[in-house]
Structure 1
Amino acid sequence: MGTILITTDYLEPGDQVDDLLRAAGHRTVHSPATGRRPEGEMADLLRSADGALIAGEPVTAQMLDTARALRVIARSGVGYDSVDVDAATARGIVVCNTPGANKNAVAEMTMTLLLMCAKRIGETLDGVRKGTWPRHDTRELRGATLGIIGFGASGQAVAQLGAAFGMSVLVSTGHPTSGSGVDYVDRNDLLARSDFVTLHARAQSDGSPIIDGPALAAMKSSAYLVNTARGSLVDELALIDALRGGRIAGAGLDVFAREPVAVDNPLLSMSNVVTLSHLAGQTREARAEASVAAARDIVAVLEGGQPLGAVNAP
């Protein structure tokens, strides 16, 4: 029997994941991540765990130094840049994620942000609430060009929805997929031609952005940027500057460089920016699929089996 630490905030004792882990003979310890923990708390929690099912909170090499029994860390989501994978690998700890579990949720939210930008919904809602009855010029998605940077599961799902709306789809990726019905182009070409640019790439290994000042300068002044992937992919200061200067038309952002986003971040007060709270993958269906997949990988590792979502090879 092992002890499984669960920090994902929407998981709780007695749910499907808890039942799955207990049925496999393990003891669960729930400590939901609802914000920044006091220093040392996460290390203390990991110290007595054989497995950990976590959300997006950091797991550092220092925390792993005292986690002597820990054998597996499973993310209830796709991104795992919050985990020091090299440190885990060096200590023989398997790190897993759940690729594809939230692809439909992310794709739907991406299209929601595209539509909100194209139809200027944020500005209109604000105006109606203030009694001004705005009549903005808006645009249709049909006939527009959608540029997708990164073409994993969520990027491919966005391409399908974009095509269904009648959009031409351009993709920039290092891993083209045959028969996908999109046009593969280099990133500069994509930025120059797209009416909407949406990000579905992993975080850069060095944390650097892929949308910086020069990238924004390459976009059309009428184009919109949508990010449902990682906040680190966008240079926020450069984006603020581009928006203020009218060099792009607007943005739809579900993620930020620092979360929760500071209330004085200028992006929150811009009328041509739609901001959300890292919600793209948080549907009931995606949460259930990702959490169960993560729990099954934990059981597999602790039973000496092969997890489906391992991202390292200790």
Structure 2
Amino acid sequence: EICEPAPGGRTNQDLAPNKEKPMPRIHCLNNISAYGTDLLTDSYELTDDAGSATGILVRSAAMHDMEFGGDLLAIARAGAGVNNIPLDRCAEEGIVVFNTPGANANAVKELVLCALLLGSRGIVEGIEWCRDNAGDENIAKAAEKAKKAFAGREIKSKKLGVIGLGAIGAEVANAAIGLGMDVYGYDPYVSVGAAWRISSDVHHVTNLDDMFRTCDYFSIHVPAMEGTIGMVDAHACSLMPEGAVFLNFSRDTLVNDEAMAAALASGKVRAYITDFATPAVMKMDGAIVLPHLGASTAEAEDNCAVMAVREIMNYLENGNIVNSVNYPACDMGICPEGQGRVAVMHRNVPNMISRITNTFGDEDVNIENLTNKTRGDYSYTLIDLNQPAPVSALDHLAGLEGVRRVRVVK
């Protein structure tokens, strides 16, 4: 049941403290692997009604025009990109949005390795030649003469520049090292966790122009945002050595179409292999285009579904936030038995912590543990009490200016 929100924000709680909470309802906007949904215990209910859902699992369905029900607490994207979800609106409504970074990394890595070979050897051209000459009774003899045009070169000892060293980029870099390539990595925002995963044999590059001047092959693995859209432009292409190969299995908008078309036409870039079929790229001579196959393996879909379901369950059952894209990470472990845990989602404004603690102090309720985390304009406060939270305290918290949602976890 939902208490009517005070002017400050929403309150998700039971009106009667001893009343059993309603069963969380999970809605799948897309087909989600049963490996994930089968993790839901008997305490959960799958529902066809998105408006009554407590949590939503989604892959590619567009959510920007959706109206969210008052019960909705979390959205989990079974994948890394979240451009189909209105993140800011969700944050304002106290809805946590999760993604599943790294769950599909191996699938993309394997396709990138395939693309390295497609860009090195005339594999696609050779296949096309065989099909074009399928009716020739002497095709075997003819192939011995024709194959020189498709011979290509080996990738061993060649220089590969990896732009972005997150979950996928790190795996690509390490795999390329294993194939004998000389790997250079660029990522000014690489996390500590990602840094530990990267082979010590990867050369750390601090200037992207230096990488463009140095490497024979390039693979880009960064999100599409204001500072990265169009980053592979005419200037970048001009720095590349003659006959460079560029791989794009991240986002189509990272590469300037006009610049890449010109680089292919001049021979500056010998091959552009991309996982994004757009009208512009389909007109490029020298482009090998795949129909967005990067994370489309059965294993990747299973991995993403499992991670997404676990994130939602952890949040609903314990209030913990792991891999959110609009609220800060916060983990206080499993809820203690016989006590109360309360989650407060609020704007990142001064004195909010003191207002929250004073609210429980005024009710003579002791706070046994408290964690507050911030991400940009939004903060998340998770509180363990020595007793169930009084409804009056919860209503007061919901009425505080800047509070977006107050939730009783247990």
- Normalised to the residue count of structure 2, the TM-score between the two structures is 0.65
Quick one: distance in 2 between partners of 1:277 and 1:22? 36
Which residue of the other structure, out of 13, 16, 21, is the alignment partner of 2:40? 21
Deviations 1:148-192 (A, max 9, x none): 000011111111111111111111101352663211112111111
Quick one: distance in 2 between partners of 1:254 and 1:184? 26
Quick one: distance in 1 between partners of 2:271 and 2:302? 33
Report the secondary structure of 2:273's partner residue: strand
Q: 1:138 to 1:304 in 2, by over 3 A?
A: same
Considering only CA atoms, is the larger Rg found in Structure 1 or Structure 2? Answer: 2
Quick one: distance in 2 between partners of 1:284 and 1:307? 27
Quick one: distance in 1 between partners of 2:306 and 2:107? 16
Quick one: distance in 1 between partners of 2:268 and 2:123? 20
Equivalent residues of 1:54, 1:75 under 8 A apart: yes
Deviations 1:112-171 (A, max 9, x none): 001111012111111111017442240110110000000011111111111111111111
Aligned to 1:196: 217
Deviations 1:236-277 (A, max 9, x none): 23222321232211111113xxxxx45xx2533656322111
Matched, 1:3 2:25: yes
Equivalent residues of 1:146, 1:195 under 8 A apart: yes
Aligned to 2:174: 160
Aligned to 1:40: none
Q: 1:63 to 1:266 in 2, by over 3 A?
A: closer
Question: Whose strand fraction is larger, Structure 1's or Structure 2's?
Answer: 2
Aligned to 2:204: 184
Q: How far apart are residue 20 of structure 1 and its match?
A: 2.2
> Superposed, which structure 2 residues align to 1:1-150 within 5 Å?
1-9=23-31, 11=32, 15-21=34-40, 23-29=42-48, 46-60=50-64, 62-64=65-67, 66-131=68-133, 133=143, 134-135=146-147, 136=149, 137-150=151-164
**Structure 1 unmatched ranges of 5 or more:** 30-44, 256-260
Quick one: distance in 1 between partners of 2:271 and 2:179? 20
Which residue of the other structure, out of 236, 241, 246, is the alignment partner of 1:220? 241
Counterpart amino acid of residue 215 in structure 1: A
Equivalent residues of 1:113, 1:226 under 8 A apart: yes
Which residue of the other structure, out of 232, 239, 256, is the alignment partner of 2:253? 232
Counterpart amino acid of residue 16 in structure 1: Y
Q: 1:162 to 1:207 in 2, by over 3 A?
A: closer
Quick one: distance in 2 between partners of 1:194 and 1:121? 22
Q: 1:28 to 1:120 in 2, by over 3 A?
A: farther
Percent of pairs with identical residues: 30
> Superposed, which structure 2 residues align to 1:279-294 within 5 Å?
279-294=293-308
CA RMSD of aligned residues (A): 2.2
Equivalent residues of 1:223, 1:250 under 8 A apart: yes
> Superposed, which structure 2 residues align to 1:167-178 within 5 Å?
167-176=181-190, 177=195
Quick one: distance in 1 between partners of 2:41 and 2:238? 54
Report the secondary structure of 2:117's partner residue: helix
Equivalent residues of 2:62, 2:85 under 8 A apart: yes
Q: 1:277 to 1:27 in 2, by over 3 A?
A: same
Q: How far apart are residue 304 of structure 1 and its match?
A: 4.2
Quick one: distance in 2 between partners of 1:238 and 1:153? 28
Equivalent residues of 1:46, 1:63 under 8 A apart: no
Q: How far apart are residue 99 of structure 1 and its match?
A: 1.1
Q: 1:217 to 1:48 in 2, by over 3 A?
A: farther
Report the secondary structure of 1:53's partner residue: strand
- Normalised to the residue count of structure 1, the TM-score between the two structures is 0.84
Aligned to 1:42: none
Quick one: distance in 2 between partners of 1:250 and 1:301? 45
Counterpart amino acid of residue 108 in structure 2: V
Counterpart amino acid of residue 314 in structure 2: A
Greater shift in the superposed pair: 210-219 or 89-98? 210-219
Equivalent residues of 1:22, 1:28 under 8 A apart: no
Quick one: distance in 1 between partners of 2:132 and 2:299? 36
